[in-house]
A and B are shown apart, each in its own frame.
Chain A
């Protein structure tokens, strides 16, 4: 699953950041900001119009990013929790 699809207030673990081109500065910046494999990330707010951009918390820092940016971040598919069915 991509970070852009993660629902509000849910947490998931980052699997990897995929650059869209060979010199994707946004992907590099995401890594520098701590979007690295193994880090848990949580959605803390969705923008007022159509949920874009989104605010996410990683570690103790919050970032605003647009869906187009969040799409570069692939999440580990969690073991499905009993009360959670919409993580496809």
Chain B
């Protein structure tokens, strides 16, 4: 009956076959996301129990078009399916997912998988969409022709994977003997399709046909792309605000409560000024990050993102890249870490390196707190031409500066006469994103962000608090306490290097923890400027303080610094992991530092020149 050893199942299929939605449907939230041993391909493993009580471990393999792998992702799929991947048990059962709407393409990979001779189930996913398109598939006949069990599924609908669950209870079926090696798989597909698939009416891809006329149109398509990006930024900056204010006041209350409960002293200070204030300044940005990720995920699931890549390919080509780099770069606006991880889908190694190199120039959400604070402190909230808010305009310029620099840098790295990188990309069918699937993916992102807050950022906030609290000022000391602390000394020590940029020693102090996570620079400034303050919402206090203490030139110079904001440790760590090269890490850190220094220097002196 049911054995204790779980059944090892691998889910394989083409890109855009709806495999991930099906995986989410099968496993719900019982998944674990990690990396495959030795490479940085994302490994998604989930657990489930079948209706008959059988335990199943299911692996969601990266989507691939064939077993003749062209990228690291595809190599993982190939080797796991063959049962030769180091550290992965050979799967007891393969589930080959094919989109019922795209049999001609997807059956090919299914046939390749069948050649491996492992027990296998074929899942006809998106069967509802096929029905709507007037496509009728004779399941019994298909099972007979393939010699394998075939079940239907709707990956994006609740209960849409029930047939698959039931099929897991049946004993595995070994496939028929493999076809001779020289078989033309396309001929075989034509034969199978002629026998099993009938088209009821004149089947056109009506939705794709209608939408693509607009979405891929040289003029309208560009407008649509622009509007979508505009809504994205609008959502991030204005819709998130109420939630952010709420979180802010909650953190403040938590700090006040802690202070009220604990006896006054260093422990109370550590908890409130160090830990709660540190975590608070960062958790506040969770809504923005979630909105950004939600938007990107929704665009991805709906099938739009590759079309955006199509529209932008020519521009990317001018920078020596292909449209494929667009998706990782767009993700980098949320955070460079997932962006750099998304470069795995780029097949040309050189292209991938350049994309990784410029990804940190996309203004990540961690830089937003710094921008928001400085802009609100130094840029007047005035309207230009009655519609553009000056503050918004400055923000837009900062984003633009990052993008422009990225294009220039990538252009510099373009070798003359090098092969043009390939584009060759599927434009998947449009579909409504499944809510459950979106929620699961979003939850995983949120978890990564929060665990970052929990570990790196809180640790750093505590260190910063300690550095700026000890040693205490000597009795009779007349200067502010911070001047006597370790942090103050480090700041003064670094000052000669940064003084040409208009930075004061307080900024120098804040730059240090900013290395580990950019957003901490704000809480560090708060610590430096208001040690002993009893407020948790340091950022709100900080703005008026800064505008009274810094010159406009200094503020703009710091903004320019953060456009390049070199060396967030997480980014450098992920670059090391993805490229396995310290050289790439050094190049990235070095060139970003150089650009940041140059940009700040220019900004500072130009502003001083004009402001007299």
A residues near B, CB below 8 A? 25-26, 28-30, 32-34, 36, 44-50, 52-53, 55, 57, 59-66, 68-69
Contact = CB atoms under 8 A, between A and B. Distances in A.
B227 to A, nearest CB: 15
9 nearest A-B pairs in the assembled complex, by CB-CB distance:
A45-B216, A62-B427, A48-B218, A59-B104, A49-B314, A64-B310, A32-B66, A36-B186, A66-B423
Given A45-B212, A53-B310, A55-B212, A61 B217 contact: no
B65 A32 contact: yes
Nearest to B104: A59
B420 A68 contact: yes
A55 B425 CA distance: 9
Nearest to B208: A62
Contacts of B310: 45, 47, 53, 55, 64
Contact of A64 (B105, B317, B425, B429): B425
20 contacts: A26-B422, A29-B65, A33-B426, A36-B186, A45-B212, A45-B216, A47-B310, A48-B219, A48-B221, A53-B310, A53-B313, A60-B205, A62-B205, A62-B212, A62-B426, A63-B427, A64-B309, A64-B313, A65-B425, A69-B422
Given A55-B212, A55-B427, A69-B424, A33 B313 contact: no
B422 A66 contact: yes
Contact of A60 (B65, B101, B216, B420): B101
Of the listed residues A33, A64, A68, the one surrounded by the most CB atoms of chain B closer than 10 A to its CB is A64
A53 B426 CA distance: 13
A60 B426 contact: no
Nearest to A36: B186
Nearest to B318: A49
A64 B423 contact: yes
Nearest to B419: A68
B488 interface: no
B63 to A, nearest CB: 13
Contacts of B218: 46-49
Contacts of B208: 62
B445 interface: no
B455 interface: no
Nearest to B218: A48
A59 B350 CA distance: 32
Nearest to A68: B420
B444 to A, nearest CB: 29
A37 B381 CA distance: 63
Given A29-B66, A61-B102, A69-B423, 6 more contacts: A25-B70, A29-B424, A45-B310, A48-B221, A63-B426, A66-B423
Nearest to A50: B314
A42 to B, nearest CB: 10
A61 B222 contact: no
Of the listed residues A25, A45, A46, the one surrounded by the most CB atoms of chain B closer than 10 A to its CB is A45
A52 B104 CA distance: 26
A29 B427 contact: no
Contacts of B186: 34, 36
A64 B306 contact: yes
A62 B315 CA distance: 21
B426 A47 contact: no
Interface string B206-231: 00110011001111011000000000
A34 B427 contact: no
